[in-house]
A and B are shown apart, each in its own frame.
Chain A
Amino acid sequence: MTLSPALAPRVARVSGQGQRWAEARTGALLSLPAALYFLLFWVVPFVSAVYLSFTSYDLAGAPEWTGLDNYRRMLEDPGFWNSARVTAVYTAGSVVPSIVLALAIAVPLSKPGRYNAFLRALVMIPAAMPLVATSLTWSVIFAEDGLANALIGLAGAEPKPWLTDEGLALWALVIMTTWKHLGLFVIILTAGLQGLPLSVFEAAGLDGAGPVRIFFRITLPLLRRTLLFVLVIAVVGAMQSFVPAFLLTKGGPAGATEVLPLYMWATGFTFERMGYASAIAMVLLVAMLALSVAQFRVLRGGDDG
């Protein structure tokens, strides 16, 4: 940067001691609310959650230190293992198809086309709709004489008790979640695809590579960063998901849709076992972090950096 010589003394003044003091004072003032907020509502709760997970606490009296009891109990708690299994099925079942379908839609949608901008806006609608509104709608779609059964009836299949059958209810949740997240992933992937360098594709086209080869050899590797982002938000989002299971099935029938956050919520706020609920929260946190790290490792594996 070049400044005229006449300004030099004034610039010297604004970079001097008084200026540094003014900067520090304003910086501290502007970030004071944030400092207080994150301390009181995130740091303290996180430290407390770790502490509470080693205690027995039912809101009456003080938390009582019980060491690893909560974690030991968890190992023998069929309710916990059921929830862990349900969450794993729900996560894998909704993440994989929603990302594969989103890619299948995003690749043609990212190309220039007369109506593609309009279609991209439409694709976002399910993602922008409140989850509560969509959950209520889907609970009616999955009713005995609802749209889902009407559609499979057209194909000649028998109507199914989607939300009341132990084997089907979780898959009903998976279908709804896949549908809900599809648009979001399409938009993120489309943006990623449009950011890829066109010259690489042109060169590959000149070399005679077909569309399938281009997709697997060029598009997918180049898109790795965006895919990783989508995968992480999809997995973490599914693992902490609470609303669909709460609204569609309340965790039932017979615990078939009792995802971990729902089990934790019921343990803490219905049965007031705050210590055990905190231990479940810790396991959920560790699982989410471990999966995120694993995804980074796997998808970044071939990177130089």
Chain B
Amino acid sequence: MKVLRGTVLTLVVAVMLLPVYAMFALSSASDASDLGGLTFDASQLGAHVAQLFGQGGFPLYLRNSLILSLGIAVLEVILSAAAGYALAQLRFPGSRALFAVIVGTLSLSPVVVLVPMYLIVKALGWIDTFQGMIVPFMMSAFGVFLVRQFALALPRELLLSARVDGASELRIFARIGVPLLRPALLTLFLLQFLAQWDNLLWPLIVANDPGLWPLPVGLSQLQTEYDFSIGLVSTAALITAVPPLALMFLLQRYYVAGLTLGGVRK
């Protein structure tokens, strides 16, 4: 029974991973003649990688994606840490209103506010700039909410004893709060990096200049740029998948923690 279950599970997972393998195989396809075949040719893959980095916009898209994803993920971690800690541990005027706004925002989709967000960025003169792509998504209601939930559970004795010792509130946040919040902040960094690495819609709207395109926008145009060589486009897709997969395996614990948050009875 147990052996049978293991075998069936392994088979199911293997079928699930077939498209992932197809991406590998296709990235080594020399032309469009063998799309159904699943043979892998490492030398062709090398040639495609060299071609992608040698000409065209690919290296630029990669750089832009790194700037966007790292920029947004880092800002999100810093700003959510500050706001989430304050909302959980400090009493200040307006905190209830701010928390209510953030909880309300949780149910809003970016799709709903897309048009006015574009108009605001346009009014700020931020079309075709990095800040136009970064600032509107540099925080998320989910991020503040996640940090606040985590910060509610910080040991009050520790914070109080730091106050008794005369530490300033800001120092307590930086020296005690932030280190203790690290698991939540790492989870947030990972989820936001992955989300932004994949963000197509917003850069598509605010970046007309190909020099600012991140990978998702660039990749959607690669088909025309390279005369649609399936091997090349698949290689580009493969390279795009490497950073998120590497991060997921390195930070698997935080990835699962972030995904299962709220879904499991505590």
Mark A residues whose CB is within 8 Å of B.
1, 7, 10-11, 14, 19-20, 22-31, 33-35, 37-46, 48-49, 52, 105, 108-109, 111, 113-116, 119, 121-126, 128-134, 136-138, 140-141, 143, 145-147, 149-151, 153, 179, 182-184, 187-188, 191-192, 195, 225-226, 229-230, 236, 240, 242-243, 246-247, 261, 264-265, 268-269, 274, 277-278, 281-282, 284-285, 288-289, 292
- Whether the pair A145, B264 counts as a contact (CB closer than 8 A) is no
A49 contact from B112, B156, B201, B219, Cβ within 8 A:
B112
- Whether the pair A14, B16 counts as a contact (CB closer than 8 A) is no
- Whether the pair B198, A14 counts as a contact (CB closer than 8 A) is no
CB distance from B191 to the nearest CB of A (A): 11
List the 10 closest pairs (A to B, CB-CB), nearest first: A150-B36, A27-B92, A27-B90, A34-B83, A26-B169, A229-B263, A48-B116, A45-B116, A45-B113, A133-B237
| Sample (18) of A-B pairs whose CB atoms are under 8 Å apart | A26-B90, A26-B173, A27-B90, A33-B82, A41-B136, A42-B141, A43-B101, A105-B13, A114-B6, A123-B16, A132-B198, A132-B237, A137-B22, A265-B114, A268-B114, A274-B115, A281-B112, A288-B109
A115 contact from B6, B16, B93, B255, Cβ within 8 A:
B6
B residues in contact with A192, CB < 8 Å = 260, 263-265
Most buried by A among B8, B109, B170: B109
Answer yes or no: B19 CB below 8 A from chain A CBs: yes
Q: What 4 additional pairs, Cβ within 8 angstroms, besides A35-B98, A195-B264?
A: A33-B79, A124-B256, A225-B264, A284-B111
**Which of B40-48, B49-57, B180-188, B242-250 lies at the interface with chain A?**
B242-250
A-B contact count (CB 8 A): 303
A residues in contact with B8, CB < 8 Å = 108
A residues in contact with B256, CB < 8 Å = 124, 187, 191
Range class of the B interface residue count: 35 or more
- Whether the pair B111, A242 counts as a contact (CB closer than 8 A) is yes
A285 contact from B17, B109, B216, B220, Cβ within 8 A:
B109
**Binary A-proximity of B150-194 (CB < 8 A = 1, otherwise 0):** 000000110010011000111001000000000000000000001
* Given A34-B82, A132-B198; A28-B111 close (CB under 8 Å): no
Mark B residues whose CB is within 8 Å of A.
2, 5-6, 8-10, 12-13, 16-20, 22-23, 26, 32, 35-38, 79-80, 82-83, 85-87, 90-95, 98, 101-102, 105, 107-120, 135-136, 138-139, 141, 144, 156-157, 160, 163-164, 168-170, 173, 194, 197-198, 200-201, 205, 215-216, 219-220, 230, 233-234, 236-238, 240-241, 244-245, 248-249, 252, 255-256, 259-260, 262-265
